[in-house]
């Protein structure tokens, strides 16, 4: 491949399968040696979620009709997958689902500083490992500061909502492209793959793309 493979990933930091899918893809990319350029894009799993959020277990049961047993099995599966991929899921009984419109605004701001990917990873960890309240703008600003971004500027961005319109526009664009669930990965602006596919499947996809583009 003469130019890096463009990879667009539509995701939400409340989505456990988004970090699983990314880690699987990252392993496949490392193994294949494909030059690549990743671009993250916003999607809100729960755009009407109130600021107080909702207990994750209750939310999953309510939204998907899962039984408590199915919910627990899903958590254990994710925990095991995370361990395999080097990500620490800690599903405490009181972990909550939060509205993520502010997180996407902060990510938009971080992108202008070349740190969007770093912040995205930090936010996944803040939510799934440390159970931090990502509905709280002070917590979001703290996370930004912890990776070396300007905390005061991050807080100002969230306070004045200067990137709200840009984020809404980006969200609408991907919905108009037919994205209804995440993770959604688009390779080379043409090939859409949805869900966490596994390292093997991502490796196969990358191999096919390399043959087609070479």
**Sign of the C-alpha dihedral computed for residues 170, 176, 181 and 185 taken in this order:** negative
And the tokens for 178?
């037919």
Q: Are strands 54-55 and 96-97 parallel, antiparallel or unpaired?
A: antiparallel
Amino acid 214: pLDDT: 53
Residues 100-138: tens digit of each pLDDT = 999 999 999 999 999 999 999 999 999 999 999 999 999
Span 50-77, average pLDDT: 86
* Consecutive H or E run containing 61: helix 56-64
Span 32-38, average pLDDT: 94
Residues 196-213: tens digit of each pLDDT = 999 999 999 999 988 776
- What Rg do the C-alpha atoms of the chain give, in angstroms? 17
- Whole-model pTM? 0.94
Q: Of the candidates 123, 125, 129, 121, which has an alpha carbon nearest to the alpha carbon of residue 141?
A: 123
Can you tell me the distance from the alpha carbon of 157 to that of 111, in angstroms, rounded to the nearest whole number? 13
Each domain of the chain, given as residue ranges in start order, spans: 5-50+98-213, 54-97
* Consecutive H or E run containing 74: helix 68-85
Task: For domain 5-50+98-213, give the CATH superfamily.
Answer: Glutaredoxin (3.40.30.10)
Span 14-19, average pLDDT: 97
128 φ, ψ to 5°?
A: -85, -25
Exposure b/e, 119-158, CB count within 10 A at least 16 = b: bbbbbbbbbbeeebebbebebbbebbeeeebebeebbebb
Q: What SS3 class is residue 40?
A: strand
Can you tell me the distance from the alpha carbon of 51 to that of 98, in angstroms, rounded to the nearest whole number? 7
Strand partners for 96: 55
Amino acid 211: pLDDT: 76
And the tokens for 137?
């703008």
Strand partners for 184: 10, 194
Q: What SS3 class is residue 26?
A: helix
Give CA angle at 119 (79, 126), nearest 5°: 40
Amino acid 149: pLDDT: 98
From the centroid of its chain, how far is CA 88?
A: 15
């Amino acid at each position: 491949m003469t130019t890096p493979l463009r990879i667009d990933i539509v995701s939400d930091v409340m989505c456990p399968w988004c970090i699983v899918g990314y880690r699987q893809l990252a392993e496949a990319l490392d193994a294949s040696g494909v030059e690549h350029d990743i671009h993250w894009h916003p999607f809100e799993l729960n755009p009407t979620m109130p600021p107080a959020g909702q207990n994750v277990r209750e939310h999953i049961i309510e939204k998907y009709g899962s039984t408590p047993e199915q919910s627990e099995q899903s958590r254990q599966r994710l925990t095991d997958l995370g361990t395999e991929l080097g990500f620490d899921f800690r599903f405490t009984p009181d972990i909550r689902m939060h509205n993520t419109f502010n997180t996407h605004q902060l990510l938009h701001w971080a992108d202008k500083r070349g740190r969007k990917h770093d912040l995205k990873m930090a936010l996944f960890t803040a939510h799934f490992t440390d159970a931090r309240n990502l509905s709280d703008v002070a917590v979001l600003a703290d996370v930004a500061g912890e990776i070396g971004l300007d905390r005061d500027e991050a807080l100002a961005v969230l306070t004045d909502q200067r990137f709200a319109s840009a984020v809404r526009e980006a969200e609408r664009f991907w919905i108009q492209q037919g994205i209804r669930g995440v993770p959604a990965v688009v390779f080379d602006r043409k090939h859409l793959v949805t869900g966490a596919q596994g390292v093997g499947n991502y490796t196969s996809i990358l191999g096919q793309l390399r043959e087609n583009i070479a």
